[in-house]
Structure 1
Amino acid sequence: MGLPSATVLPLLIVVAAGIYYIYNEVLQFMSKSLVRNKVVVVSDAVSGVGTECAHLFHKGGARLILCGTSWDKLESLYDSLTTDADPRETFAPKLVILDFSDIDSMEDVVAEVMECYGYVDVLICNSSMKLKAPIQSVSLELDRNIMDINYFGPSTLAKGVLPTMISRRSGHIILINSIQGRLAVPFRSSYAASKHAAQAFFDCLRAEVEEYGIVVSTISHTFINASQPPQVEEPVPKPNALAAFITSQLTHGVRPSVLANEIMHTVNRKRKEVVLAHPIPRVALYLRSLLPHFLFAVLAAGVKDSVLGEQMQ
């Protein structure tokens, strides 16, 4: 006797959900096993995303080289990783002081990174300095500092590990960038400019090193949301409706744990380009190419209403 038709759809939903759960668990297991014994460098490892990456790759058995500006924070991260860890399954991380704002030190930093294991399998360029201000109020010194941290630092580090990757004909370089490497919004001129520059550099690098079996990936995300969901505030008087709607879509952000998992998947699937954004920012990317005048009008209206200028990252 067949099942009643009313129970077929719920049953199919339950079965599909079960299959999807098992599929994700298998992918998660495979992701961890594929990074085992790989030498993985994480810059700005003491940030929210960097810390999540460190824990994820450490559990997967990677040989980590963790970089950051604060030795105390690096040691604290080291302790959190090694406490109760099984030495038969994991490796104690190497720690390297790295400050992208000090470009003159990069040559020594690269040498120290390479001395750890003699080569690098995966380089995760995770660094960012944000700034929200009108263009006319940003000094040249601040512009240069942002470019050092967001562009010159990651590009210099990538150049440093490149020779051994070319000689070994393998390697993976990942830039954790921003959606503003593709789409600039008001009051983020210096930040957006540095992210555009980084995007262009790594796009060029991808094409140049493909013949050597080296993968270059960029992950473009909206802002990192490490805080609790904000409370509902009083509405801005007479806002531009479309600008306010775009703002509401962008305030969700990306959780550090979600981004870290995407980085792990990118390493294992060797994806060259990833965009982590809600539908509205994705649509804005298409509008920038197809209907730029419309997008410019929306952004200008947002600035006038002081909605996008305050909320967009």
Structure 2
Amino acid sequence: MHFTDKIIWITGASSGIGKALAIELANNNAFLILSSRKKQDLAQIQKACKNPDNVKIVPLDLEKYDKLEEVAKLAIAAFGRIDILVNNAGISQRSLLKDTNIAVDKRIMEINYLGNIGLAKAILPHFITNKKGHFVVTTSIVGKIGTPLRSSYAASKHALHGFYDSLRAEHYKDNIAVTLVCPGFVNTNISKNALTGDGSPQNKMDTATANGLPANYFAQLMAKAIYKEKEEVYIAGAKEKLGVYMKRWFPKVFSILIRKISVT
């Protein structure tokens, strides 16, 4: 597996999966464009990458989705083209839906869905002109199944599946690929940064997240899925994967099991 001469734009690259993926792809000779709101953190990751001169930084805030066309132009200008967009940035949730302020639902949808597809729409004309492109989207296992404490997060990830399945079908003739990557529990700060019902961060690590897949191992598997242009891949523990298949084939049994998950 190698990504020699591939120009890959990664959002949410300042930590977690994005950071680990950047280092993994750099080790496989990719040229990288790293984006997030945290420019200083990106600079540190740039230094940690193999061949830092092949890594450019373009700050990005997905909540400002009306500015994403301008950001896309800057990203394209960094190396003259983009081959792969890894739409990875997002935010999670830890709150019961009855306790979740509608402003929190709105913010999660604006970041995880509108910001994500806004960036896709900004880069799509570039892919169409080049008659080649690849969207890689970090969704979630809860983009396939809804679980307690994650109603808004699950909704935002489900929405991404619908959007990108449609994009894949519409632009097949333009040689544009879509890879939907569905993580289970990965040991990152996602649960610490997750929004609670009033919009404040949870500020603590979930036990399941702490025991999740190491981010660098996850990145290795994600890189392989990107290289093979998989349409959809579940990178998760056995229980999370089982949930996806139970939901598909035994929905009533799944419903009984999922409501037994602790919501405290």
TM-score under structure 2 length normalisation: 0.86
Alpha-carbon spacing, 1:141–1:249, altered in 2? closer, same or farther (3 Å): closer
Alpha-carbon spacing, 1:249–1:224, altered in 2? closer, same or farther (3 Å): closer
Q: Could you tell me how far apart the structure 2 residues matched to 1:66 and 1:221 are?
A: 20
> Does structure 1 residue 280 correspond to structure 2 residue 239?
yes
Q: Tell me the SS of whatever aligns to 1:45.
A: coil
2:202 counterpart residue number: none
> CA offsets, 1:87-144, max 9 Å, x none?
xxx7431111111122232222122112223321011111121111111221121111
> Does structure 1 residue 262 correspond to structure 2 residue 221?
yes
1:27 counterpart residue number: none
Contact kept in structure 1, 2:17 and 2:188, CA below 8 Å: no
**Higher relative contact order (Cα pairs below 8 Å, separated by 6+ residues):** 2
Q: Could you tell me how far apart the structure 2 residues matched to 1:145 and 1:249 are?
A: 25
> Does structure 1 residue 191 correspond to structure 2 residue 153?
yes
For residue 172 of structure 1, what is the amino acid of its counterpart? Answer: H
TM-score under structure 1 length normalisation: 0.73
> Does structure 1 residue 150 correspond to structure 2 residue 112?
yes
> CA offsets, 1:138-175, max 9 Å, x none?
11211111112111111111111111211221111100
Q: Could you tell me how far apart the structure 2 residues matched to 1:152 and 1:223 are?
A: 24
Aligned length: 248
Query: How far did residue 286 of structure 1 move?
Result: 2.5
> Does structure 1 residue 126 correspond to structure 2 residue 85?
no
Structure 2 unmatched ranges of 5 or more: 190-206
Query: How far did residue 251 of structure 1 move?
Result: 7.2
Q: CA RMSD in A?
A: 2.2
Q: Tell me the SS of whatever aligns to 2:77.
A: helix
2:195 counterpart residue number: none
> Does structure 1 residue 110 correspond to structure 2 residue 46?
no
For residue 80 of structure 1, what is the amino acid of its counterpart? Answer: A
Alpha-carbon spacing, 1:136–1:68, altered in 2? closer, same or farther (3 Å): same
Q: Could you tell me how far apart the structure 2 residues matched to 1:79 and 1:222 are?
A: 29
Alpha-carbon spacing, 1:111–1:136, altered in 2? closer, same or farther (3 Å): same
Query: How far did residue 80 of structure 1 move?
Result: 2.4
Decide which structure has greater helix share: 1
2:15 counterpart residue number: 47
> Does structure 1 residue 38 correspond to structure 2 residue 6?
yes
> CA offsets, 1:32-53, max 9 Å, x none?
2xx1111110001111211111
Alpha-carbon spacing, 1:48–1:283, altered in 2? closer, same or farther (3 Å): closer
